[in-house]
Structure 1
Amino acid sequence: MRTEDVLAATATGMWRWDNASGIVTLDGEAARLLGLPAAHVDLPEVAVRSRFHPVDWNEINGIVNLAVAEGTLAEALLRVMDGDGRVLRTVRSRSKPLENVTADGRTDYQLIGTLQEIAAPQPGTAAAHTTVTGDWRRSREAFLLDAGRALAEARSTAEVLRVAASLSMPGFTPDGLAVFGAAGDRLSIIGHHGHNPGDEGPFTEMPLDTDYPAAEVVRTGRAVYLPSPEEYERRYPAAWPLARGFGRSSWAFVPLIVAGRTMGAWMAAFRHPVSFSPDERSVLTTVARMLAQALQRAGVAESERELTTGLQRSMMPTLGPEIPGMAVAARYVPTGGGLQVGGDWYDMIPLPSGRFALVIGDVQGHDVRAAGLMGQLRIAVRAYASEGHRPDAVLSRASRFLSGLTDSYGAYGATPGASGPSRTPGTGGRDADGDEELSGPRFATCLYVECDPETGTLDVARAGHPDPAVRMADGTVLMRPTAGGLPLGIVPDTDYPTTRFTLEPGETMILCTDGLIETGGHDLDTGWARLRAVLESRPPEGGMDLEKLADLLVSAVHGPSSHHTTGPLADRREDDIALVLLCREGPGADCGSTPAHPVRPARRTVLTVAQAEPQRIAGARRQVRELLHDWADADQVDSAVLLVSEMLANVLTHTDGDALLVAEAAGELGARRFRVEVADSSDELPHKRHPGEMASSGRGVLLMEMLADRWGVDPRGAGKSIWFELHEQAKPASD
């Protein structure tokens, strides 16, 4: 009796599908099951495909590929359709894929197997919820979507393992998991779930030639399915005594493959028996692929974080030893993407004179090249400062250094991020974070402050950087306009004028990069207004130290931070942030807090307006408003601003020297005195004039008499000092 006759007697047909020729060969029973005349026939693939439900046919390729990878049978349930689209019957196909590599390197398959009709499920029965109805497929697809999303969001190996442990597979959830990693000729457990601590001991640092399923999976790249304890003991008698104690009934060991390389194995153990049908093997294989990709991403991210930590430790120095009479705090927060290093930096440099220098700067860009230039520029600035140069000379030399350094980059004709000179000059690209890379020479902004800790004297040189701000002892914040020059690296030989002012006891100077000010769509004005609200907020009882103040400023921009943030950040910022706070201590002055004594300290500012810098009058007006930000009478504030502007303009117009402004607000809230003195080198005293209606000048003394509570002129040895006073009066409650 022929094999075909025996199979036909059991309603089983045979078929052969040649992928290369596209011909499907059916015996008589197979043809009958497909709704064709019961005779041996060779048909093109398209004719056979039209007999199957399109959803079932689309799954055949995945099932065949899985069977080829695992060396098993390809098994599928297929619905046979008639010409009107109705389901005639459901058949089970079991076939063996045979690979054939062609001369041109292409791989073709031949499927040789059987077709057998199965009973259609009845509504309300358990079988009605099997793969035939598609419910299991839909459940599987939903599970795989959720699993893929969860694994894609995991950002560390520990998170990946937690996600893997929480996966609830449709119909066959494992209760024990283990992930094995291969390194060299050893196999070790990366993580596990559903076992007691210490259970992994015998499986740690296992040689790859061990007779253990996970080791075989890594060696061969093929999955191992063990549906019963008997099968485990039969195939792996040496490892069975170790596995028996866990009380499992079925095991699946699936390779973790990334880019064609087996990086480890995933074990899923079940307390209940599992037959590992093709659908179940397909789910396990898909999860293993997603798990391997997630573990690789997590490994790369952890390596980048480790590299970031090393780069930050080498590029961002510590603040060094404590300075008598001074307190310093600093923060650096990267943008949150890529290597988390950029062009911002700060430094504190001991000087040969016994003073120290604070430096803060920002190299253009957020890529690796910006970080490299920043490191070189920081070292150069430290070297020039350590030689004893003054602030202006340090910045001039640094500008020359950076100009030559960026020119040497351009000499090779490569854009930032390029591996060599083959990239086209002048073109831009994208870095690893998607940020636009910058081509051509780079520039840097910088603020250099030389400080005398004994007197609080600060000499400031500025290269295109935001001005410093000063938080006074009572919380009032003043912007300190300073003379400045072009950013470093634009013009090799540039002069940088120096501005001197004094930091009084209890005052804190704030230096920062524009990332702290302009993040979130703010400009310089609105950004400083946001930070001013933090700086001027009254601290809780007991005061606020400098470290807490630094944290508050950073968190005002993007949320809680810590020293030199390293690790993953919750959000992606627009720019790096560097921040340095310098506070001068003194009797009754606690850095970063409002004094607890009842008498408020005086607010005082000193400003020089040179003949060549009339624009600084606007800065003087702004400082007056900042000093009087909580003055009871807004009209008096306007009067003070007008009088200061008039006094400074008169000095620049009617003398040949500079104007020195000293402004001070002292006393208790509601009863303060505001005094302004403007000194110049001219001996000519002001006198009252009677300007006509169309006159453009001559009203200075008249304004003094009308707006000031008191005013006067004090002659000096060389020049004079004009002053006025305003007395605060709290408005009545009815106002």
Structure 2
Amino acid sequence: MDDRVAGALSLPDDWPAHPDLSLALNRMGCFDWDLGTGLMHMDQPALDVFDLTAAEYDDRPGTLARRVPRDEAARLDGLVSQALKSGRTAYGAYFRVQRRDGSLRWTHTQGFVRRDASGRPRRIIGIVRDATQELADSAARQEIDEERRRRTSLVEGTAVSLAQARTVRDVIAVLKDSQGLALLGATSLVMGLLESGRIHLVADGPEAAHVPGTRYTRVDEPYPMSEVVRTLTPRFIESAEDFADSYPVLWPDIRHLGITSAAYMPLIAQARPIGALGLLYRDKDGFTPDERNLLMALGTSIAQSLQRAMLYEQEHDLAEGLQQAMLPRRIPAVAGAQVAVRYRSARIGRDIGGDWYDLIHLPGGRVGAVIGDVQGHDTHAAAVMGQLRIVLRAYAAEGHSPATVMARASVFLHELDTDRFATCTYAEIDLSTGVVQMVRAGHIDPLVRDVNGDCRRLTAEGGLPLGLSAEFGRLEYPVTTAELDPGQALVLFTDGLVELPGADLDEGMQLLTSLVTNGPHDLQKLADDLCAAVDVRGGQDDVALLLFRRRAAQAPQAGGRLQQHVAQNDPEALSSSRHMIRAAVRAWGAKERADEIELAADELITNALIHTDGGAIVTIRVMAGPERRLRVDVEDRSSALPRRRDAGEAGVSGRGLMLVDRLADVWGVESRGGGKCVWCEFLMPESRRRPWTSDAEAPLGSST
């Protein structure tokens, strides 16, 4: 047993190895530099590092200079001098040595400074060694670390970009970005989404890469996307041969693309597949473990972004469908007018709000134009908008005056018991006269574009927003009367068209005025341009737009009428009614009798306001028949009939009806339920009718 132990512990004769052997095997050599004499002894391994023979070296450091590039020698000398002067005991440096064949290789030296008792340096003893492999390994490690950092940065950067993607198209755009593909080393990508057991190809790789019949494929078909969706496992195709062998149905159609490898990953969200992603490579063979891990991590991030995008699109489609259902399905054609409407959803949030437009045919050839905005950007705002639009349309169609329509709509919104209010502008337009009666409930003033393109703001006195006016008991809505000449256009819009990030409303109005002034004459093109301007600046609010241009004047129709309520103690309302009558008389061809008609109507209105306890309703219309007549009706709530009496020489009252009797061709009084109507008519001979020939009779403006 002792013999066996002794045999097991037997050692080679040259054990332990001499230090010279260890140094030589590790391509290290020694030197001893005597600073007093300047001689430097170098052993043979050290000379081998410098590619010198013993016969070529004379123990002088200067002899080594021919092997060291000048800049390297200067740097090394400076390092040694600094070590000697600073009192350090050691130094080390990497430098390059030029071999006999002219090639350079990295070398490392390390020296120990020996000093005397006074601290003066006497000798430097050290080593030199070939550091080529060491630095190559270090550079390789740095490249690996850099590659890992690059891949990590790629995943992080892609994740950030994907976080901002709202739709599937946005996700595909991020992935197909040329920089992202270059960082991945991929030539192109393909992507499919799982829909009802089939894979829908939504990104089909490089140009001319589409394979007929693969837009929709079943999960059980022999395609790589189908395989990864079935197995929920990535598939890395290492070579063209691997591709051809594994997928013989697909390979013949893509062989011309020069694909040498591919990576297909299932896109999994909440433990279920939603699709697959394929990255196609040229001039690449195989995938390292790090590359596989990177691609799988990227696939997870993409799947989460796709799921968010798909949910967003589903919600957006639902919201957009609700919004479209609430808006009018079509705008009716209006004889004698050109109309353009647009709705643009916001670019943030759910892309739905309470903005709306509407155009309503009214009795007597009149048209009601509505623009409004319910507070909020959600489905509730859209639902409230739909109800409010229908109610406002119903009130207008019943023949109520604009102020009454707005007041009743406000009461309705308040009684809905919702926390939303709405702004709105309602304009009632008579196409035969061009008279516009407008009511504004907290909304932005509209614009008017003239025939020559000039655009200006139409200032209209307004009331509180709908809902709020009913809540605070302030249902009075003043009516602004204006005139719209042939060729002029009324521009109604919501605040999303003029709101600018970081700017006030006046700046937005100035910009809109400029866009309308310089825009095309055609309203459809102008509407497109205005919406495009909103898209460019990325508006954060919905936009509803209604453009209305009056064309050539229409002949007055039997039964057509203009009507306005005149409240007591409201001089503005009285002035507005005079404006309406004057415009109608001129438009309907009775200009020669305009002063008579206006004076008679003014007397009837004033009489109703003075002698009754309420306001008056003024109606003016053209009566068709053998003799065309213009009729003015003034209704009030008093049942007491007016009496014609002699005012006497000093009397200041009683002259009204006498004046009406002298001016009008015929007049009378009719009982109307709880009130009465005093009327007068004026003959309009055909010879006195004036056809409308001017495209710009008078500017559109407020009666105030």
CA contact (8 A) 1:344 1:362 kept: yes
Alignment of 1:679-694 (within 5 A): none
What is residue 347 of structure 2 aligned with on the other side? 336
Distance 1:242 1:525 in 2: 61
TM-score norm. by structure 2 comes to 0.53
What is residue 503 of structure 1 aligned with on the other side? 484
Distance 2:460 2:184 in 1: 71
Larger radius of gyration: 2
Distance 2:181 2:482 in 1: 70
Alignment of 1:108-507 (within 5 A): 122=133, 125=136, 128-129=139-140, 134-165=145-176, 166=178, 173-175=185-187, 177-194=189-206, 196-199=208-211, 201=213, 203-228=214-239, 248-272=259-283, 274-307=285-318, 309-317=320-328, 320-405=331-416, 407=417, 409=418, 441-474=419-452, 479-490=457-468, 491=470, 494-507=475-488
Deviation at residue 358 of structure 1 after TM alignment: 0.6
Residues 169/128 of structure 1: CA separation in 2 closer, same or farther (3 Å cut): farther
Identity of aligned residues (%): 39
Per-residue CA deviations over 1:659-689 (Å, capped at 9, x if unaligned) read xxxxxxxxxxxxxxxxxxxxxxxxxxxxxxx
Query: Any stretches of 5+ residues in structure 2 without a counterpart?
Result: 1-130, 554-564, 577-609, 616-658, 661-704
Residues 236/131 of structure 1: CA separation in 2 closer, same or farther (3 Å cut): farther
Distance 1:121 1:151 in 2: 44
Residues 525/155 of structure 1: CA separation in 2 closer, same or farther (3 Å cut): closer
CA contact (8 A) 1:131 1:137 kept: no
Distance 1:397 1:297 in 2: 43
Structure 1 stretch displaced more, 363-372 or 226-235? 226-235
Residues 353/282 of structure 1: CA separation in 2 closer, same or farther (3 Å cut): same
Distance 1:139 1:496 in 2: 66
Instruction: Name the amino acid aligned to 1:578.
Output: A
Deviation at residue 169 of structure 1 after TM alignment: 6.3
CA contact (8 A) 1:257 1:289 kept: yes
What is residue 639 of structure 1 aligned with on the other side? none
CA contact (8 A) 2:348 2:540 kept: no
What is residue 545 of structure 1 aligned with on the other side? 522
**RMSD of aligned residue pairs (Cα, Å):** 4.4
Deviation at residue 467 of structure 1 after TM alignment: 3.7
Deviation at residue 359 of structure 1 after TM alignment: 1.0
What is residue 542 of structure 2 aligned with on the other side? 576
Distance 2:367 2:266 in 1: 60
Distance 2:212 2:187 in 1: 16
Instruction: Name the amino acid aligned to 1:370.
Output: A
Distance 1:534 1:216 in 2: 55
Deviation at residue 443 of structure 1 after TM alignment: 1.5
CA contact (8 A) 2:440 2:460 kept: yes
CA contact (8 A) 1:363 1:370 kept: yes
CA contact (8 A) 1:517 1:523 kept: no
Distance 1:446 1:610 in 2: 22
Distance 1:212 1:530 in 2: 55
What is residue 585 of structure 1 aligned with on the other side? 551
Deviation at residue 324 of structure 1 after TM alignment: 2.9
Per-residue CA deviations over 1:293-336 (Å, capped at 9, x if unaligned) read 34334434444554454344323326634323322233333332
TM-score norm. by structure 1 comes to 0.51
Residues 171/464 of structure 1: CA separation in 2 closer, same or farther (3 Å cut): closer
Deviation at residue 256 of structure 1 after TM alignment: 1.1
What is residue 22 of structure 1 aligned with on the other side? none
Secondary structure class of the residue paired with 2:466:
coil
Instruction: Name the amino acid aligned to 1:316.
Output: L
CA contact (8 A) 1:150 1:163 kept: yes
Residues 400/292 of structure 1: CA separation in 2 closer, same or farther (3 Å cut): same
Secondary structure class of the residue paired with 2:364:
coil
CA contact (8 A) 2:445 2:460 kept: yes
Distance 2:446 2:188 in 1: 59
Secondary structure class of the residue paired with 1:122:
helix
Instruction: Name the amino acid aligned to 2:483.
Output: T
Q: Greater helix share, 1 or 2?
A: 2
Which among 465, 471, 493 is matched to residue 512 of structure 1? Answer: 493
Distance 2:443 2:184 in 1: 63
CA contact (8 A) 2:322 2:382 kept: no
Instruction: Name the amino acid aligned to 1:560.
Output: A
CA contact (8 A) 1:147 1:167 kept: no
What is residue 671 of structure 2 aligned with on the other side? none
Per-residue CA deviations over 1:314-373 (Å, capped at 9, x if unaligned) read 233266343233222333333321232212211101123332111111212233221221
Distance 2:288 2:352 in 1: 50
Deviation at residue 156 of structure 1 after TM alignment: 4.4
Query: Any stretches of 5+ residues in structure 1 without a counterpart?
Result: 1-119, 410-440, 562-568, 588-607, 620-655, 659-716, 719-735
Residues 235/142 of structure 1: CA separation in 2 closer, same or farther (3 Å cut): same
Distance 2:511 2:254 in 1: 62
What is residue 560 of structure 1 aligned with on the other side? 533
Distance 1:524 1:571 in 2: 15
What is residue 604 of structure 1 aligned with on the other side? none
Q: Report how many aligned residue pairs link the two structures.
A: 441
Residues 121/196 of structure 1: CA separation in 2 closer, same or farther (3 Å cut): farther
Residues 237/503 of structure 1: CA separation in 2 closer, same or farther (3 Å cut): closer
What is residue 696 of structure 2 aligned with on the other side? none
Instruction: Name the amino acid aligned to 1:261.
Output: R
Secondary structure class of the residue paired with 1:222:
coil
Instruction: Name the amino acid aligned to 2:185.
Output: T
Per-residue CA deviations over 1:358-410 (Å, capped at 9, x if unaligned) read 111121223322122111111111122223322222222212211111x1x4x
CA contact (8 A) 2:331 2:358 kept: no
Distance 1:354 1:468 in 2: 23
What is residue 693 of structure 1 aligned with on the other side? none
Secondary structure class of the residue paired with 1:138:
helix
Distance 2:245 2:138 in 1: 33
Secondary structure class of the residue paired with 2:533:
coil
Secondary structure class of the residue paired with 1:144:
helix
Instruction: Name the amino acid aligned to 1:501.
Output: A
Instruction: Name the amino acid aligned to 1:485.
Output: G
Residues 131/478 of structure 1: CA separation in 2 closer, same or farther (3 Å cut): closer
CA contact (8 A) 2:181 2:187 kept: no
Distance 2:406 2:254 in 1: 70
Instruction: Name the amino acid aligned to 2:533.
Output: P
Residues 168/454 of structure 1: CA separation in 2 closer, same or farther (3 Å cut): closer
Residues 446/211 of structure 1: CA separation in 2 closer, same or farther (3 Å cut): closer
Instruction: Name the amino acid aligned to 1:191.
Output: A
What is residue 9 of structure 1 aligned with on the other side? none
Distance 1:404 1:544 in 2: 43
Distance 1:196 1:126 in 2: 44
Distance 1:376 1:404 in 2: 12
